[in-house]
Chains A and B, each alone.
Chain A
Amino acid sequence: MKLTLKIWRQKDSKAKGEFKTYPLEGVEGDMSFLEMLDVLNEGLINKGEEPVVFDHDCREGICGTCSLQINGEPHGPDRLITTCQLHMRMFNDGDTIVIEPFRAKAFPVIKDLVVDRSSFDRIQQAGGFISVNTSGNTIDANAIPVNKHDADESFNSATCIGCGACVAACKNASAMLFTSAKVSQFALLPQGRIEATERVLNMVAQMDKEGFGNCSNTGACEIECPKGISLENIARMNREYLKASIKG
């Protein structure tokens, strides 16, 4: 395959970025999208140019490090996968592919395609935990039976990988899907109910403080989420938030 890549280049957080065009030949369908970028970079290094910097690590869709807005979509055209799992067989010979960083006020660009997602960590730090000491003096695991349906639902919410695609997909750059996934995971478990009120209030407050936008129910986040985190989580968080506010 022969492709034309239009890639966002930006020296550092202060620099003004711009698109640069790179032709690329010899792309194979079996390559992942990131392996295609590896090939591009190898060529750039050999020509003495600076390679394109992008975030990536596990390359099997679970660490949540890779990002990229590909032709306007977070993680590209395929569904339920991350960019590292996107394969070039999804594209055709002669295609032009536009590659940008995730865009959001709360995700400032660090360099080229790399953004700072530490705002997500701070939302988790505000309440994404159960306050149990880790020294092991807890009760037997089977002393807390959990209804299978709730356990499965909690697991589904907990599979969020914190990649930020939901924010990048949203016209308001809202982090509701991300935040609600963690709120839901704990809200569905008896262990998590104890701190439910504080948790939802603190996490939502931090989310607002970080500059994420509001949710206007377009559902774009759910469609682009590589882990299929459902909009039901947002509905659940809204209920939890309302309950907590009344209790306040």
Chain B
Amino acid sequence: MSKLDSKIPKGPLADKWTKHKNEINLVNPANKRNIDVIMVGTGLAGGSAAATLAELGYNVKTFCYQDSPRRAHSIAAQGGINAAKNYQGDGDSNYRLFYDTIKGGDYRSREANVYRLAEVSANIIDQCVAQGVPFAREYGGYLDNRSFGGVLVSRTFYAKGQTGQQLLLGAYSAMNRQINRGKITPYNRHEMLDLVIVDGKARGIIARDMVTGKLERHSAHAVVIASGGYGNVFFLSTNAMGSNVTASWKIHKRGAYFANPCYTQIHPTCIPVSGDHQSKLTLMSESLRNDGRIWVPKKKEDAEAIRNGKKKPNDLSADERDYYLERRYPSYGNLVPRDVASRAAKERCDAGFGVNKTGQAVYLDFASAIQRYGKEQAAIHGNHNPSAEEIKKLGTQVIENKYGNLFQMYEKIVDENPYETPMMIYPAVHYTMGGVWVDYNLESTIPGCYVTGEANFSDHGANRLGASALMQGLADGYFVLPYTIGDYLSKDIKTGKIPTDSKEFDEAENNVRQLLEKLVNNNGKHSVDYFHKKLGHIMWDKCGMARNAEDLKSAMSEIKALREEFWKDVKIPGTMYEMNAELEKATRVADFLELGELFAKDALHRNESCGGHFREEYQTEEGEALRDDENFMYVAAWEYTGDPGNSILHKEELEYENIEVKSRSYK
């Protein structure tokens, strides 16, 4: 029998969450003192949940591989956070945020979860302002908003191009308050390497102290995984170097189903790849599409001339440029959702219109915005007859004020001034919508093991809208998990401390020790990166922006073969009981090599195109994604069997009671 009970509360959509909160069990404050919770990951989802659970009175232990919780990769989120505040009075509402998110996700997410997300979104902003998060403000002192892709309102709150940093530092400060009170014990530079299950319930973890190499046993009444996404399976992505799937994959191997692994977001605006030495890709925030116009040359000769340096982008007049998003999608223009924008860029580059030496880039141009803002500023300053120079100067100031840090980052990497010449951008792996399957309570198929933030699959369907990841992370952590986990913990008030000298802890620790010993004693020929890069190439070439059955089949067998080669031939210098960066990488890449195969299998089984999952066999005549609602309107949740290629599929059918399922159009 399938364990997939989504536990969606009965009743009208807008009442479900309130009703659920009223009906679930609570834990008396005195009893909370006797209950321990383990939090793996301290980004927005983990940090916010850790702080809130500690404040409620639970004893929380946090684990992160970084040297401080403040460094989790949520910090790199740039553009903003959505909330249905309707401060701009432009017709926003909980329903509209809900609708946009379901549609943006190409009708592959759960209605009840998404509505709850929209419902708590406004509160996130209140909370963060109270914590001292310095959001951008207008001259009147009120909060400012900007627009993001796939929506027709301005609901994105931001702090320049560093919104993730400011929100994470807010959650970190809330954690610090609880650390100071002794309610959170932080274990930094620690990596979770297995989950311990006792009597069918998640009761602890095995973690490695990354400074001494010592294995540690930690017990708790519940374990929360908030360890982020798995984009680094592609080797090159916008994720941090350390971002990994290991915590999620270890619980998957212990019985948690893994949902929709093939739903990956390839972000349209990243700095293009420059060479083989490259270790990661850098995002240029989607917020830039508020003001930047995307184009390639209209004529192939011009594209070629630009590629071999004979022409510069500014040599081309407006009518020699193809603003292909504005052409193809007049109503959303440059602000179409990410999956649509990425595919359109790939289409133009594949057709021979790409720029950069490699032909794998398009332009993001701010010249019109500089003109527009320059004239506006001149008028505000009473200058009604400004010179071209004055306009440019004033306009550049506005752009610098809005996106200064992004422009600086671009200039340092590419060595070109984006105020003078258009930016070059190309799509790159950025976010994973798939993840561990969870029910409405964010509980996985292992009782007592909860999963929040990017690590779970729950809210974004097949494509995430911009500025929604921060919203989901904080919604899960501040406002959802603290309620739902209480219901589960209410049954544990008499359990007492979970001992760590049980056979279950012995088994898990031995399991980890054997894995690490095997790696350090392997003495093969190639470094971990050698295998990781090879895996990345297979993933990008065959499971990337466009997929087909034949490629996916060969990806599965190639990844399997690479995994076997890895275990035979990987070489880890040094020992287990010391700081060993290669050993850390090896344990992560070992898990990516399993996930990669399941990823391809999931993509192969889904015979339709939806959101970020584009199958070449399933497209309209105009090249748009073609869904198959009759056969694929479900969540694919995979059960581990020991061999990723033979995972068992479980289906959670998606029901749309409040939204009419339509084909997704941004024209």
Contacts and interface: CB of A to CB of B under 8 A. Distances in A.
Interface of A: 11-12, 28, 30-32, 34-35, 38-39, 42, 44-46, 48-51, 53, 55-65, 78, 80-81, 85, 87, 89, 110-111, 114, 116-118, 120-121, 124-136, 138-142, 144-148, 151-152, 154-155, 158-159, 161-162, 185-186, 189, 191-192
15 contacts: A45-B527, A49-B573, A63-B71, A85-B409, A110-B579, A118-B188, A126-B180, A127-B180, A128-B176, A130-B130, A130-B131, A136-B120, A148-B141, A155-B159, A191-B130
A186 B479 contact: no
Contacts of B180: 125-127, 129
Given A51-B573, A59-B279, A148-B141, A189 B177 contact: no
A192 B73 CA distance: 26
A32 B282 CA distance: 12
B67 A55 contact: yes
A189 B130 contact: no
Nearest to B142: A142
Interface stretch (B91-99, B167-175, B391-399): B167-175
A130 B408 CA distance: 31
Given A62-B162, A118-B68, A51 B582 contact: yes
Contact of A155 (B166, B174, B274): B166
Given A50-B573, A62-B75, A81 B412 contact: yes
Interface in B65-83: 66-73, 75-76
Contacts of B160: 155
A235 to B, nearest CB: 19
A63 B408 contact: no
Contacts of B75: 58, 62-63
B130 A139 contact: yes
B55 A134 contact: yes
Nearest to A52: B581
A120 to B, nearest CB: 7
Interface residues of B, number: 83
B571 to A, nearest CB: 6
Query: Is chain A's binding surface mostly helix, strand, loop or mixed?
Result: loop
B123 interface: yes
Contacts of B87: 142
Contact of A65 (B69, B71, B159, B165): B71
Contact of A45 (B238, B242, B579, B582): B582
Among A60, A130, A131, A155, which residue has the most Cβ atoms of chain B within 10 A?
A: A60
B71 A57 contact: yes
Contacts of A139: 126, 130
Contacts of B274: 30
A161 B139 CA distance: 27
A32 B414 CA distance: 11
Contacts of A62: 75-76, 162, 165
A89 B413 CA distance: 10
B417 to A, nearest CB: 15
Considering the complex of A and B, which 9 residue pairs feature the smallest CB-CB distances, nearest first? A145-B141, A129-B173, A155-B134, A138-B130, A141-B129, A129-B177, A154-B134, A63-B71, A57-B240
B31 interface: no
A154 B126 CA distance: 18
B277 A35 contact: yes
A103 B495 CA distance: 48
A26 to B, nearest CB: 9
Interface string B287-320: 0000000000000000000000000000000000
Contacts of B384: none
A116 B129 CA distance: 32
Given A111-B579, A146-B141, 15 more contacts: A32-B279, A32-B413, A57-B66, A58-B241, A60-B283, A62-B75, A63-B66, A117-B67, A136-B120, A136-B127, A145-B141, A151-B136, A158-B134, A158-B169, A162-B71
Nearest to B412: A85
Contacts of B76: 58, 60, 62-63
B3 interface: no
B143 interface: yes
Nearest to A130: B132
Contacts of A132: 127, 130-131
Given A63-B75, A85-B409, A134-B55, A140 B173 contact: no
B88 to A, nearest CB: 12
A87 B85 contact: no
B275 interface: yes
B175 to A, nearest CB: 9
Contacts of A81: 412
Contact of B132 (A65, A125, A189): A189
A140 B124 CA distance: 10
B154 interface: no
B222 to A, nearest CB: 19
B48 interface: yes
B574 interface: yes
Contact of B275 (A28, A55, A61, A159): A28
